[in-house]
A and B are shown apart, each in its own frame.
Chain A
Amino acid sequence: MKKQHIKDMIFRIAPIVGLLILFALFMVFAVIKDINIPYSMKNILNQSVIVIVVATGAIFIYTLGSFDISLGANMCVSALIGAMAYNRTGSVLVMLGACVLCAVLISLVCSVLASVFHLPVFVTTIAMLSLLNAGVLMLIGANGTGDIVQVPADAVSAINTVEFKLLVLCLYLAVCIFVFNFLKLGREEKFVGGNPECARLTGLNNSRLAILAFIMAGIGVGLGSFLTITYAPTLSRNTASSVGMDVIISIVFGGMPVSGGARSKIYSAVVGALSMTLLSQIMLMLNLNSGISQMVKAIIFILVVYISMSDNKKNNLPR
C-alpha cells in the first residue's frame, strides 16, 4: 500500500521534476555556451505564454476525455476578426473583445452541434477545422489587403511586454484553477472523463458539461489570439497553424492523462508548455538541425505517453 502510494506520488511529481531537470540542463548549457540568459528567460516566457493560455483552457475539454483539433484554426479566425475590428475602430479593447467573443462562439458551435447530433465532440471539431480554414481564406480575401491582415505595430507595441502577457496569463490561470479545483464543474468534468456512462447514470448532463468546457477553452483561445496579435501584428492564413499541435504536446508533457478523468490537472499546461520551450531552447543551443530536434522531441513524447499510460492502465475505472 505504502509502495503504491510512493509510486503514485512519483508519477504525480514526475512532470514537475522533468521541468526542473530541463531548467537545470538549460542553465548548464546557457553558462557553457555563454548565452544571453536574461534575454533567454524573457524569450522562454514569450514563447510559452500563448500555448499555456490556450492549453489551460483546453484542459477543460481534455478532462472530459475528448479533444479539439480545431484550436489553431479557431485562434487564426479569432485573431483575424480581432485585427479587423481594431482596423475599423482603432480600439485595443474592442480587438480583445472581438477575439474572445469570436473564439467562444466558434467553440460553442462545436459543442452545441455535438450535443444536437449526439456526435463525439472531436468529430465536430474536425468538421469545424475545415470550415475555419475556409473561413480564414474568405476573411483575408474580404479584407482586401493581399494575403495578410495587419494591425499597426505601434498600436500594440505598448502591450507587447512580458509583464502584460504574464498579467493576462495569471488572471486567466487564476480563474481556471478556481473553476477547475474549487467549483462543481471541475469535479463533474473529471467524473465524466473517468467514466461517462457512470456519470450519466448518476444524473450528470454530459452535453451541458461539454458546452461549459468549450466555453472555458474558447476564452483561452480568444486570449491567445489577442496575445498573438500583440506579439506579431501581421496575420496570414498560417497564423497559429502550429498551436493546435503545441497544445496537445504540452498537455501530455505536463502529465495530463490522454484519457482525461480524475487525474487531470489544471497546471499540466503550464508545466508542459514550459518544458517544451526549454527543450527547444536546449536543442537550439546545441545547434541541432530541425529534423534531429523533431526526432528527439518525438522520442521524449512517446516515452512520456508510455509511462503515463502504463501507470494509468490498471487504475482506470471500468467503462
Chain B
Amino acid sequence: MKSLKKFLVLLLSVFMVLGLAGCSGKGEESGSKGIDNMKNVKIGVLVADATGAEALAFRSYYENYIQKQYNVTFMYSDELADAAAESSAIDNFIANNCKAIISFASADRPAQIRKCAENKVYYAVATGTLSDDEYAEFKDNEYYVGAIGPDLYTEFQAGYNMAKYYLDQGKTKFAIFGGATPYYVDMHIYRTAGMLVAMCEAGNGDYNGAKDFGSMIGTIYGMNCQLTPAQIGSVELVSYVGGYDFDDAWFGKLAEAANNPNVEVLLAVGSGLDTFAAFKRPDQALGTVDSYTADAVKAMEAGTLNYLAGKFSASIGPIFMATVSAVQGKPIRTANGEALALSQGYWVATSAEEANNYFTVDSSTTDPAYTKAMLDKLYGASYDDFAKFVGAYSYEEIQNLKK
C-alpha cells in the first residue's frame, strides 16, 4: 500500500513536470518569416523587473507581437537582482547561442557590454541611456548597438512638467513619493529634481540652496538622496517619502503624507497607483510617471489619478530593429560609426479619454503603436531616417506615421 502511494506520488509529479514543460514549450521557428526571410534570430532579454505593469507591457509587445511577426525567438532572464545575476544571465544566453541581448537591467551596464563584446554578441539598451562616460567608452564598439529611451534630461523634464501642470492650476502644497531615489537610481532622482525645480520657479524660492537643473541634482546627491520636506518660496513640499520598503512603517509614511490636511497634490516619480492612490483624499490630485494599464485608465475615470506620464510599450520596437539589423550585418550607426544614443519621451494623459486612447493602442497585440509595416522601414535604415522615426514619438505623430 505504501509503495503504491509512493509510486502514485512519483507518477503524479512526473506528469505535472512534463505537463508544465509541455504547456509552455515553444517552437523556435514560430512566427512568419520576416525581413529577407531572415534566419531565426535568438535574442536574450535581461530584465530587472519581471512583474511590474510596465515590464509586463514591454514583454507582451515582444512576445505577443514582435515574435509573431518576425522570425525571432526571445529568451527572457529571471528577475535580475544584482550584477552577478546579470552576468550569469548573459552567460546563459551566450551558451544558448543568442546572437544579441536587449537589456532592461542596469546593475552594471559596462560589465554587460564588455562580456557581450568579448563573446561577439550584440548588446542594446531597451529603455534609458548610458551615462556620458559609459557612452564615450563603448560608442565605437561594434557590438554595442546603442540605447533608445528617455535620457536623464527627459526624465528631469517629465518630473518638471508634471509638477508644473499642478502649479499652473495654482496648487502650492505638495507631497512627493521619490521611489528609488534613496537607492541612487538616476531616473527617479532626475524626475524628483524636475519637480523641485518647477516648485522653485513657481514659488520663487530654492530647495536647500538649489533652484535650477544642475544645482538641484548636486543638492540631491549632496543630501545622500535622502530628501526632506521644505518651504520653497511660496510653494511648500509638505511631505516626502522615498524607497520601496513595502513594510508597515513605509505604508504608514505614505498614509501620513497623503492624510496631511495641507497637502493638495500628490506627485509620484513612479508607482503612484501602488503608493499614494490608496490613501488619497477626494479633494487631492495625484500625478505619476507610470505605464498605461487598465487599472490606470480606471483610476483616471474614477478621478483617483489626474496626470499620467507613461512609456508606451512599443517604444522598444525601434531598438529591436536596430539590433536585428546589426546581427544581420546592416548596423545602424552615426556618420562617425558610433552607436545609437537616441532619446524618447513619454505619452502624457491628463484626462480619462486620452488615457483610454493611449491604453487601447498600447495594449493591442494586433495593431500596436509601432506595427511591423512601420518597423520594416527601419531595417538597415540610415541613421538620420532612424533618428527621425524615433524622435516622432508622441501619440499624434505616431498615428500620422501609420497613415
Contacts and interface: CB of A to CB of B under 8 A. Distances in A.
Are the chains A and B members of one assembly?
yes
B225 to A, nearest CB: 8
Nearest to A302: B13
B58 to A, nearest CB: 14
B84 A296 contact: no
A236 B24 contact: no
Interface stretch (A28-36, A88-96, A166-174): A28-36
Nearest to B80: A238
B260 interface: no
Given A153-B114, A232-B82, A295 B20 contact: yes
A104 B245 CA distance: 29
Given A292-B21, A296-B21, A231 B87 contact: yes
Contact of B21 (A47, A286, A290): A286
Nearest to A311: B6
Interface stretch (B70-78, B157-165, B328-336): B70-78
A116 B287 CA distance: 54
A197 interface: no
Interface stretch (B93-101, B288-296, B344-352, B392-400): B93-101
The SS class assigned to the B binding surface is helix
Nearest to B73: A287
Contacts of B185: 147
Interface string B75-93: 1111101111111100110
Nearest to B5: A310
The interface size bin for chain A is 35 or more
Contact of B108 (A39, A234, A300): A234
Contact of A36 (B6, B84, B95): B95
Interface in A200-253: 228, 231-242
A144 to B, nearest CB: 8
A238 B269 CA distance: 22
A46 interface: yes
A241 B185 CA distance: 19
A307 B13 CA distance: 12
B97 A43 contact: no
Contacts of B77: 290
A39 B120 CA distance: 13
A236 B82 contact: yes
Given A47-B88, A236-B107, A147 B183 contact: yes
Contacts of A33: 96
A34 B42 CA distance: 12
Contacts of A147: 183-185
A299 B23 CA distance: 16
B97 A34 contact: yes
Contacts, number: 113
Contact of B96 (A233, A284, A296, A307): A284
Interface string B103-140: 00001101100100000000000000000000000000
Contact of A296 (B17, B76, B87, B183): B17
A285 interface: yes
B35 interface: no
Contacts of A40: 95
Contact of B83 (A35, A236, A284): A236
A273 B59 CA distance: 30
A239 B83 CA distance: 8
Given A40-B95, A296-B20, A290 B79 contact: yes
A299 B13 contact: yes
Given A47-B91, A234-B107, A241-B81, A292 B24 contact: yes
Contact of A232 (B9, B17, B83): B83
A164 interface: no
A318 interface: no
A115 interface: no
B25 A288 contact: yes
Contacts of B91: 39, 43, 46-47
B224 interface: yes
Given A153-B114, A306-B9, A292 B20 contact: yes
B226 to A, nearest CB: 9
B37 to A, nearest CB: 20
Interface string B182-212: 0111000000000000000000000000000
Contacts of A35: 95-97
Contact of A289 (B6, B24, B85): B24
A242 B81 contact: yes
Given A287-B73, A300-B17, A306-B9, A39 B95 contact: yes
B26 interface: yes
B67 to A, nearest CB: 11
Interface in A278-304: 281, 284-290, 292-293, 295-296, 299-300, 302-303
Contacts of B86: 232
B327 interface: no
Contacts of A43: 88, 91-92, 94-95
A33 B25 CA distance: 13
Contacts of A307: 6
17 contacts: A36-B94, A36-B96, A40-B95, A47-B88, A141-B224, A147-B183, A148-B108, A232-B87, A238-B81, A239-B83, A242-B85, A281-B92, A284-B96, A287-B25, A296-B20, A296-B21, A300-B17
Given A234-B111, A299-B17, 16 more contacts: A46-B91, A141-B224, A232-B84, A234-B82, A234-B83, A235-B82, A241-B81, A241-B82, A242-B81, A288-B20, A289-B24, A290-B76, A290-B77, A292-B23, A299-B13, A307-B6
